[in-house]
């Protein structure tokens, strides 16, 4: 069973090689033991595969390459024949490209046959991007009657699907995860259906992640999207301004598939101002904004934005770009200190963080970005004190709210001016 599973994994790697890496052939020598020449050869081939692909397969689970040998096949000529080699290649799904027998003889001392071979074994060469943490985003569960906008009622399944897609896209853009294609969910559709139950044990969710070959699995609920048109009367005139009001609520969990532990959990509450939504925003715009916020929350918890270089004391190079950040965004600049442990469990809580200023994003490229720091203490010299992994960025909610308030005021002033010009 182990061997079958091992070969399945190897075969899957080959299947996705065009997306994540390439194949290469490695020459190795291996030795195997058995009750007969074929059994000894099977053992040697098994060891050869193990050497190349990092698995040492126990002799009790030897790779079965052929049917039980008849007496006429127990000879070196047949085991070295082209037909037998093609059989080996077929049985191993191409993992063993070919081989040659150096020796295959009976040891009179032990009574066992000893086979020594030189084999050409195919290895999946993984790209650097494929070494990232693998995360599977399972479609959020939309509560019945959860979702309504100013335009009308939304199908909860459609809304949850679009938000889930937006989360996946955001995590891809972050370039910090290998996000599994959501089509892989078909491997465990039966288990997927059980996620509608809030009482589903975490252990079962972890099993689903293992079926998807994921290090982590993201699950959660879309609890509500309640948006409505609201009105506000202007102070300087009788004109009434219309705007989007309401709230959005969702919760997510990140589960470690190896241990079954909940690595991260968060309940997010948002409003149209937080997401910069306005009247006329369709489900796709709303979903993207929600997905971006959820995705950033996950990213900020696991891989916060780090300062990679400092120039001119306040100009910073950051390790995140793409659609994750945008020009004009403001973050808190945090300095990392000593490691902190939980007083009860003695588990690491990470390093202490001290706010030393803010950073405004001034330039964004696909893989990185640049920011300008405003420090709370003029005596701090970031360039002089810089060390890798010493400074990171955290979302600055207060600055964002201030920016939105400023933007709102500017819009109101412009509307009032336009109104005065007209009348």
Instruction: Give the pLDDT of residue 397.
Output: 62
Report the C-alpha gap between 45 and 319 in whole angstroms.
44
Of the candidates 290, 242, 287, 253, which has an alpha carbon nearest to the alpha carbon of residue 270? Answer: 290
At a CB cut-off of 8 Å and minimum separation 6, what does 145 contact? 156
Instruction: Give the pLDDT of residue 57.
Output: 38
* SS3 labels along 293-357: HHHHHHHHHHCCEEEEEEECCCEEEECCCCCCCCCCCEEEEEEEEEEEECCCCCCEEEEEEEEEE
Neighbours of 364 (CB within 10 A): 20
Of the candidates 179, 176, 178, which has an alpha carbon nearest to the alpha carbon of residue 321? Answer: 176
Report the C-alpha gap between 291 and 272 in whole angstroms.
14
Neighbours of 150 (CB within 10 A): 19
Of the candidates 330, 309, 332, which has an alpha carbon nearest to the alpha carbon of residue 392? Answer: 332
At a CB cut-off of 8 Å and minimum separation 6, what does 346 contact? none
Which residues on adjacent β-strands are paired with residue 31? 116
Burial 99-136 (b: 16+ CB within 10 A, else e): bebeebeeeeeeebbbbbbebbbbbbeeeeebebebbb
Tens of each residue's pLDDT in the chain, 423 residues:
434 444 444 444 444 444 445 677 889 899 989 888 888 888 888 888 877 765 433 333 334 444 333 334 456 666 777 767 777 766 666 678 888 889 989 988 888 999 999 988 887 666 666 668 888 888 899 988 889 988 888 899 999 999 999 999 999 888 888 887 654 455 444 444 444 445 556 555 555 555 557 788 899 999 999 999 988 877 667 788 888 999 999 999 998 887 888 889 999 999 998 898 988 888 899 999 999 999 999 998 888 999 999 988 889 999 988 888 889 999 999 999 998 888 888 878 788 999 999 999 999 998 899 999 999 988 888 888 888 889 999 987 654 455 555 555 665 566 555 545 544
Report the C-alpha gap between 15 and 131 in whole angstroms.
17
Strand pairing category for 96-106 and 133-137: unpaired
Of the candidates 90, 51, 47, which has an alpha carbon nearest to the alpha carbon of residue 67? Answer: 90
**Packing angle of the helix pair 156-174, 283-302 (nearest 10 deg):** 50
The overall longest dimension of the chain from CA atoms, in Å, is 110
* Per-residue tokens: 389: 């992994």
365-369 long-range CB contacts below 8 Å, 24 or more apart?
A: 365/321, 366/321, 366/322, 367/175, 367/321, 367/322, 368/308, 368/317, 368/318, 368/319, 368/320, 368/321, 369/317, 369/318, 369/320, 369/321, 369/325
Report the C-alpha gap between 369 and 382 in whole angstroms.
17
Instruction: Give the pLDDT of residue 54.
Output: 54
Which residues on adjacent β-strands are paired with residue 221? 141, 251
End-to-end CA distance of the chain: 82
- Domains, in order of start, for the chain: 2-128 (no CATH), 132-303 (3.40.50.10610), 304-401 (2.40.10.410)
pLDDT digit string, tens, across residues 124-172: 666 666 668 888 888 899 988 889 988 888 899 999 999 999 999 999 8
* SS3 labels along 88-119: HHHHCCCCEEEEEEEEEEECCCCCCEEEEEEE
* Angle ∠(130,131,136) on CA atoms, nearest 5: 65
Instruction: Give the pLDDT of residue 62.
Output: 38
* Per-residue tokens: 219: 């699950």
Burial class for 160, CB neighbours closer than 10 Å (0-12, 13-18, 19+):
buried
């Amino acid at each position: 069973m182990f061997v079958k599973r091992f070969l399945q994994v190897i075969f899957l790697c080959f299947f996705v090689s065009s997306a994540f890496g390439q194949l290469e052939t490695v020459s190795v020598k291996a030795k195997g033991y058995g009750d007969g020449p074929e059994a000894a050869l099977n053992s040697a081939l098994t060891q050869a595969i193990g050497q190349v692909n990092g698995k040492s397969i126990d002799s009790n689970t030897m790779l079965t390459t052929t049917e039980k040998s008849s007496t006429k096949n127990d000879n070196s000529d047949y085991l070295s024949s082209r037909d037998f080699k093609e059989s080996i290649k077929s049985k191993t799904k191409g993992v063993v490209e070919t081989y040659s027998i150096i020796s295959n003889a009976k040891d009179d001392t032990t009574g066992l046959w000893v086979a020594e071979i030189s084999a050409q074994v195919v290895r999946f060469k993984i790209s650097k991007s494929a070494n990232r943490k693998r995360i599977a985003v399972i479609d959020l569960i939309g509560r019945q009657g959860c979702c309504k906008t100013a335009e009308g009622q939304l199908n909860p399944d459609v809304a949850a699907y679009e938000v889930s897609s937006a989360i996946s896209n955001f995590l891809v853009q972050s370039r910090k995860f290998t996000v599994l294609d959501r089509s892989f969910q078909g491997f465990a559709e039966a288990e997927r259906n059980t996620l509608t139950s809030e009482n589903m044990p975490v252990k079962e969710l972890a099993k689903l992640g293992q079926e998807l070959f994921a290090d982590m699995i993201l699950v959660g609920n879309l609890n509500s999207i309640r948006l409505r048109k609201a009105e506000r009367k202007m102070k300087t005139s009788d004109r009434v301004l219309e705007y989007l009001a309401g709230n959005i609520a969702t919760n997510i969990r990140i589960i470690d598939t190896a241990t079954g532990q909940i690595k991260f959990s968060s309940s997010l509450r948002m409003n149209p101002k937080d997401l910069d939504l306005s009247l006329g925003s369709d489900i796709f715009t709303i979903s993207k904004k929600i997905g971006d916020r959820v995705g950033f929350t996950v990213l900020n918890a696991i891989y916060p934005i780090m300062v990679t270089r400092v120039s001119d004391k306040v100009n910073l190079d950051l390790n995140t770009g793409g659609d994750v950040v945008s020009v004009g965004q403001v973050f808190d600049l945090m300095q990392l200190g000593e490691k902190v442990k939980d007083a009860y469990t003695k588990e690491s809580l990470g390093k202490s963080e001290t706010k030393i200023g803010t950073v405004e994003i001034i330039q964004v490229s696909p893989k990185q970005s640049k920011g300008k720091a405003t420090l709370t203490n003029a005596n701090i010299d970031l360039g002089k004190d810089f060390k890798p992994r010493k400074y990171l960025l955290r979302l600055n909610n207060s600055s964002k709210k201030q920016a939105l308030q400023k933007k709102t005021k500017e819009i109101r002033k412009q509307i009032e001016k336009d109104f005065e010009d007209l009348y």
